[in-house]
Amino acid sequence: MRLGILCGGGPAPGMNSVISAATIEARNSGWDVLGIMDGFQHLIEGRVEEARPLSITDVSRIHVLGGSILRTSRANPTVRDEGAADPDWRLHACLESLRKLGIDALVTIGGDDTAFSASRLAEVAGGALRVAHVPKTIDNDLPLPGGTPTFGYETARSVGVELVNNLMTDAMTTQRWYLVVAMGRSAGHLALGIGKSAGATLTMIAEEFPPDEPVRLSRLVDILETAMLKRIAHGRPFGVAVLAEGIGLRLPQEELRKAMPEVELDEHGHVRLAEFELDRLLAKEVKERFKERGQKITVEGKNIGYELRCAPPIPFDIEYTRDLGYSAVDYLKQIVKGNEPGGMITIQGGHMVALPFGSFTDPETGRVRIRLVNVESSSYRVAREYMIRLDREDLEDPEKLRPIAAASGLTPEDCRERYGYLAAGN
């Protein structure tokens, strides 16, 4: 038997640990192992020479390292070319490359897009290839059973907390504000996890807004501005706000296009949020608000996405990913002579459970379902309790409203009229 291993999508702490565990178990089982460089990219192009043999010696200590020794890419083999004689030529090219490499079984490491690509490969292969997918994303947005985190999330949160703690100290020392944008295209788990654990002044995630309505830029600015006014009223004119990057995708189209006139998409059709600079946009808008009142405030934007993705994994993620890598090969050994094309590897109650491809698929969209932050949960309620945000009590208690209104340059009545809508749901 010959096993192939590849990584797709963005990096996540623990990828090397999966590669290591899978390679060691496969080699100990008498299998050959090939590491496939750069995700699906070279398989699509037919460049089979880019694959490299992996031995136990090659991977024996990489489990403590960040990044991926196989690198990664977002090359998408499921893109259809409707104008070609074979619209699915990318998938067929991948399978032909794997055939030339003599690969009988494949471990894919990636998020929802890589999971979809893996499932399509197994489907089109028609039994000639067995695939085990190991789900990873620092966004923690795959709906794993029992609320289990996706690997890489806990490390990314830990590193993010350290960075935000440092920024909190700098904010206090220099009497300024930082607006920190954390990764989370579809869900706010990482931003909330960082903000809550670090004790950030406030955290904003897309899930807190009505799902069927766009989120106006002016509303985001109002939330930040009133938090700052409340801090000024408390004699503490500084702080750190953490925001999930996915909020940017909830802006009305006209505002999104204005902010990103030359929007760029990746190979999976997603807006490249790293180029959106939501932090800088909001910092500019907030400063303008204070400038209009003749007040000066220092607000700095900071995006901490890339600093988290290739960090060395913490012990939680090392242990977790070693279980996943071993289990992926153990599962392939079980199905290699059967009719099962493959599945997604999960750890439930300390046991490996392989879920069929499609387990996480939304039947309406055909794409992987997203695990959102439950804003009705006790955990989220606790997070909100410790944020500095304008709430109903601030508006109803004259003693609390008076200094906030004074900081805004408005009368208490005008302040309540202007910003009262923010506390309507609290």
CA distance 137 to 186: 12
In angstroms, rounded to a whole number, what is the distance separating the alpha carbons of residues 281 and 303?
A: 12
Q: Is 351 helix (H, G, I), strand (E, B) or coil?
A: strand
CA distances from 387 to 197, 224, 287, 395 (A): 12, 12, 21, 16
Q: Which one of the listed residues 139, 317, 323, 391 is annotated catalytic?
A: 139
Are 366 and 115 within 8 A, CB to CB? Answer: no
Residue 118 near residue 15, CB atoms below 8 Å: no
- Gap between the terminal Cα atoms of the chain: 59
d(CA 240, CA 231): 11
Burial (CB count <10 Å: 0-12, 13-18, 19+), residue 355: middle
| Gap between the Cα atoms of 310 and 77, Å rounded | 24
> Tokens standing for 285?
């808008």
Q: Are 187 and 370 in contact (CB under 8 A)?
A: yes
β-strand pairing of 177-182 with 239-244: parallel
**88 among known catalytic residues:** no
The CA-atom distances, in angstroms, between 44 and each of 47, 78, 288, 357 are 8, 10, 49, 22
**Rounded distance between C-alpha atoms, residue 27 and residue 34, angstroms:** 11
Q: Can you tell me the distance from the alpha carbon of 3 to that of 273, in angstroms, rounded to the nearest whole number?
A: 35
- In the three-class reduction of DSSP (H, G, I as helix; E, B as strand; rest coil), residue 181 is classed as strand
From residue 85, alpha-carbon distances to 82, 88, 89, 132 in Å are 8, 9, 8, 30
H/E segment holding residue 177: strand 177-182
Return the bridge partners of 300, or none: 178
Q: Which of 58, 16, 9 shows the shortest CA–CA distance to 33? A: 58
User: Which residues does the annotation mark as catalytic?
Assistant: 139
